[in-house]
Structure 1
Amino acid sequence: MEEIQPINLMEKFSLFEKLWTPHVIGELNGQYVKLCKLKDEFVWHSHENEDELFLVLKGTLYIEFRNGKKIAVNEGEIIIIPKGVEHKPYTNGDIVFNLLFEPKETEHTGAIKTEKTVEKLDWI
């Protein structure tokens, strides 16, 4: 059996600078546990087959929906975006530290491909 060790999230966040790029830190029941740093705006996208959970560890994340609704997700809060719901995450210009739980097959930006789309995830 592989040695079981705690994962220090802030230590892992210190290992990368690239924004909107998830890094895998663990695997749990067919899902990846991912960390990413967020700043400014991301892209409109949805995930047709998976719900998406955002856990904000530092800062405030905003989520905009196509109906015009905007939600603030504060430090220490989570939000779950149901599958198929189009959304656009963004920040107020500060860097937000975020943790995601997603099935391993979840595509970064769903069916939308942009310059921000990450095809291959790195483990840290």
Structure 2
Amino acid sequence: MLNGPAFPETVDLLAALAELDDFWSPRVVARVNDQYVKVAKLRGQLAWHSHKQEDELFYLLKGRLRIEYRDRPAVVLEPGVLHVVPRGVEHNPVAEQECWVVLVETVTTLHTGDVETPLTKTIEQQIG
């Protein structure tokens, strides 16, 4: 487990998102116990992957996000809606247009789960 730097107690999520330039490159903005709160801009698709030991929470602030599943219908998120991907479930986030998302993940959660892609970011990159 990575202790990392001290994070602020108050975060302007929209301002943090406005500072991001790259898609699919989450930025850790806070830590709550053993959970990181991350922000990310998304466009296109990431990769089919799963997180064997951790659930993953997506909370959409802007745009529209579709989370595809292999074994069930896709879930479409609109601003203000959150969705939890259960641990071990293969999924693929897809954003036809730019969207802004807040992620809540256990500190042990790997960015692209059980696969590595050119978009994969280490936790150090996400904190940096």
Q: Structure 2-normalised TM-score?
A: 0.88
SS of the aligned residue for 2:44 comes to: coil
Q: Aligned-pair distance for 1:68?
A: 5.6
Aligned partner of 1:115 among 99, 106, 118: 118
Amino acid at match of 1:109: T
Aligned pairs, number: 122
Structure 2 CA distance, aligned partners of 1:30 and 1:68?
A: 29
Query: Structure 1 stretches (4+) deviating beyond 6 angstroms?
Result: none
User: Is residue 86 of structure 1 aligned with residue 93 of structure 2?
Assistant: no
- Structure 1 residues 56-114: Cα deviation after superposition (integer angstroms, max 9, x where no partner): 0001100111126211111100000000000000012x111000111111101112011
- Structure 1 residues 17-38: Cα deviation after superposition (integer angstroms, max 9, x where no partner): 1101110001001111000000
Which residue in 2 is equivalent to 1:75? 79
Asked if the contact 1:24–1:121 (Cα under 8 Å) also holds between the matched residues in 2, the reply is no
Amino acid at match of 1:13: L
Structure 2: gaps (5+ residues): 1-5
Q: Aligned-pair distance for 1:6?
A: 2.3
Two-structure CA RMSD over aligned residues (Å): 1.8
User: Is residue 36 of structure 1 aligned with residue 40 of structure 2?
Assistant: yes
User: Is residue 13 of structure 1 aligned with residue 17 of structure 2?
Assistant: yes
Asked if the contact 1:46–1:86 (Cα under 8 Å) also holds between the matched residues in 2, the reply is yes
Cα pair distance change 1:61/1:4, threshold 3 Å: closer
Taking every aligned residue pair, what percent have the same amino acid on both sides? 34
Q: Structure 1-normalised TM-score?
A: 0.91
Amino acid at match of 2:108: E
Greater helix content? 2
Alignment map for 1:42-57 (pairs within 5 Å): 42-57=46-61
SS of the aligned residue for 2:14 comes to: helix
Structure 1: gaps (5+ residues): none
After superposing the two structures, state which structure 1 stretch, 32-41 or 113-122, moved more.
Answer: 113-122
